[in-house]
């Protein structure tokens, strides 16, 4: 069976790329088609693959957001007609690739395009001062939504990464989907045969510094409560977050793997304040024996079990999070129970579930 992968872009190594990486192991000879490619940012498992991308477009990868209106026509131009199986991993336009007449198309969807559907207000907020520009973007977004819905019918089988995404796939595309959570390297965060990690008096917010993750809420709540917060990661929202920070907030920018593991295992809790599609960082924390304090919405509903793996706060406000933080008792959580729960999210289990879906779709295995 001749297989090809389609991924939106390969310019950073984050959760979506980890999912692709795990899928690639199932088909060692399959090439990857993408819009933008930065080989230096990829691990060997991806960098050593055959990767096809438009060379002329790749010169503009730093400005890729500006090219969004052109992505549908570019993704449709990919030469995929000779492949038996197309596997797309999509949060933008990869699912709109055109398969051959006898090809099967399986899409692992991280999210329908956030910036044209339910989270468009977050992305348009910086442009509120420019009504003319906002008007143009609204017009383009309408056209993109039409294309996004129509192109969803090129997919034979959708796999959503959470129940939250499954519901949005049905709402926006009218399509059903199976739910398979993404793979997490849980073993990396679990100290086999060792005592539970010693906790330090700080809370943690970790991941990409982007507005929808709502790290601003974590900072404001911890500062108001006088609690120490470590904000770990990197991203375009760093300057704004630093302006909000006070004496109780510390930043760890691009921590290495060992530091990341230590931060996870020693925190009293990971604050998970945004509405996430899934949230691999949440499973990493649970694997390390660290509970979550999460807003009751989004992907967190799939893995936050009150009293077992964390607890919820009910309103997306500083006051609601602050109240939950001040009443939080880390001693009520059992690290062994959390690690047992996290064992359901291993790469092996992910690959077995994916192969089961592929076999059902194609009647063949790798």
- Comparing CA positions, the residue from 294, 166, 134, 283 lying closest to residue 221 is 294
Same domain? 237 vs 329? yes
- Average pLDDT in the 243-259 region? 96
Give the length of the chain: 366
What local confidence, expressed as pLDDT, does residue 66 receive?
79
Q: Across the chain, how many H-helices and E-strands are there?
A: 14, 13
Rounded CA separation 112/100 (Å): 23
Q: Rounded to an integer, what is the distance from CA 289 to the centroid of its chain?
A: 21
Same domain? 238 vs 356? no
3-state secondary structure of 93: coil
For tokens 């005592």, the residue is: 195
Cα angle 357-362-365, degrees, rounded to a multiple of 5 = 75
- Are the beta carbons of 173 and 149 closer than 8 angstroms? yes
Same domain? 140 vs 106? yes
Q: What average pLDDT does the structure give for the chain?
A: 91
What local confidence, expressed as pLDDT, does residue 193 receive?
46
- Average pLDDT in the 17-44 region? 96
Same domain? 248 vs 110? no
For residue 313, pLDDT beyond 60: yes
Neighbours of 37 (CB within 10 A): 24
**Which one is predicted more confidently, 222 or 130?**
222
- Comparing CA positions, the residue from 2, 108, 96 lying closest to residue 366 is 2
Angle between helix axes 318-327 and 215-225 (nearest 10 degrees) is 60
- Average pLDDT in the 22-47 region? 96
Q: Token pair for residue 277?
A: 């599609």
- Comparing CA positions, the residue from 296, 286, 272, 281 lying closest to residue 213 is 272
Region at 308 (left for phi over 0; alpha for psi -120 to 50; beta for the rest):
alpha
What local confidence, expressed as pLDDT, does residue 155 receive?
97
For residue 363, pLDDT beyond 90: no
Same domain? 78 vs 120? yes
- Average pLDDT in the 272-295 region? 95
- Average pLDDT in the 117-128 region? 59
Lowest-confidence region among 127-131, 309-313, 358-362:
127-131
Same domain? 178 vs 257? no
H helices within 25-79, ranges in order?
A: 44-47, 55-58, 71-76
What local confidence, expressed as pLDDT, does residue 142 receive?
82
Radius of gyration of the chain (CA): 21
Q: Token pair for residue 66?
A: 């500006």
The side-by-side arrangement of strands in the sheet containing 229-234 is 249-253, 229-234, 203-208, 269-272, 292-295, 310-313
- Comparing CA positions, the residue from 218, 205, 211, 206 lying closest to residue 317 is 218
Same domain? 144 vs 194? no
pTM over 0.95: no
Contacts of 207 (CB under 8 A, 6+ apart): 213, 232, 233, 281
Same domain? 306 vs 257? yes
Same domain? 167 vs 219? no
**Which one is predicted more confidently, 190 or 119?**
190
Most confident of 59-68, 106-115, 205-214, 245-254: 245-254
Check which CATH number belongs to the domain holding 159 and give it. Answer: 3.40.50
Contacts of 235 (CB under 8 A, 6+ apart): 208, 209, 210
For residue 194, pLDDT beyond 60: no
Q: Token pair for residue 118?
A: 């339910």
Count of structural domains within the chain: 2
Using alpha carbons, list the distances in angstroms from residue 147 to 140, 153, 156, 353. 11, 10, 17, 30
**Which one is predicted more confidently, 117 or 304?**
304
- Average pLDDT in the 237-254 region? 97
Q: Can you give the residue range of the structural domain that contains 286?
A: 186-344
Rounded CA separation 202/209 (Å): 19
- Average pLDDT in the 170-182 region? 97
For tokens 């990661």, the residue is: 233
Same domain? 255 vs 169? no
Same domain? 150 vs 195? no
Same domain? 151 vs 41? yes
Check which CATH number belongs to the domain holding 253 and give it. Answer: 3.40.50.2000
**Which one is predicted more confidently, 176 or 15?**
176
């Amino acid at each position: 069976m001749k297989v090809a992968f389609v991924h939106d872009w390969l310019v950073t190594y984050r959760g979506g790329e980890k999912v692709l990486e795990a899928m690639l192991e199932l088909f060692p000879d399959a090439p990857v088609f993408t819009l933008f490619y930065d080989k230096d940012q990829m691990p060997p498992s991806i960098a050593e693959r055959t990767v096809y991308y438009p060379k002329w477009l790749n010169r503009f990868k730093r400005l890729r957001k500006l090219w969004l209106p052109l992505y549908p026509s570019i993704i449709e131009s990919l030469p995929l007609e000779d492949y038996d199986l197309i596997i797309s991993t999509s949060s933008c336009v990869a699912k709109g690739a055109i398969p051959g007449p006898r090809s099967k198309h399986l899409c692992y969807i991280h999210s329908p395009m956030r910036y044209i559907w339910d989270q468009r207000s977050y992305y348009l907020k910086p442009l509120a001062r420019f009504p003319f520009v906002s008007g143009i973007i609204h017009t383009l977004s309408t056209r993109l939504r039409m294309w996004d819905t129509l192109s969803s019918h090129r997919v034979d089988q959708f796999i959503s990464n959470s129940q939250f995404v499954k519901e949005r796939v049905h709402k926006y595309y009218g399509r059903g989907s199976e739910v398979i959570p993404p793979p997490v390297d849980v073993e990396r965060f679990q100290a086999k045969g060792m005592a539970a990690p010693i906790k330090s008096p700080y809370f943690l917010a970790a991941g990409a510094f982007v507005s929808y993750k709502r790290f601003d809420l974590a900072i404001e709540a911890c500062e108001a409560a006088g609690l120490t917060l470590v904000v770990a990661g990197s991203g375009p929202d760093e300057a704004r977050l630093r302006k909000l920070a006070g004496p109780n907030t510390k930043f760890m920018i691009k921590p290495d793997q060992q530091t990341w593991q230590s931060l996870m295992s020693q925190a009293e809790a990971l604050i998970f304040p945004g509405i996430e599609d899934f949230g691999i960082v949440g499973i990493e924390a649970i694997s390390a024996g660290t509970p979550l304090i999460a807003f009751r919405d989004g992907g967190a509903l799939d893995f936050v079990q009150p009293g077992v793996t964390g607890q919820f706060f009910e309103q997306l406000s500083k006051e609601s999070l602050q109240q939950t933080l001040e009443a939080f008792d880390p001693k009520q959580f059992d690290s062994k129970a959390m690690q047992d729960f996290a064992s359901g999210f291993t790469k092996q289990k992910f690959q077995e579930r994916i192969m089961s879906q592929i076999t059902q779709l194609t009647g063949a295995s790798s």
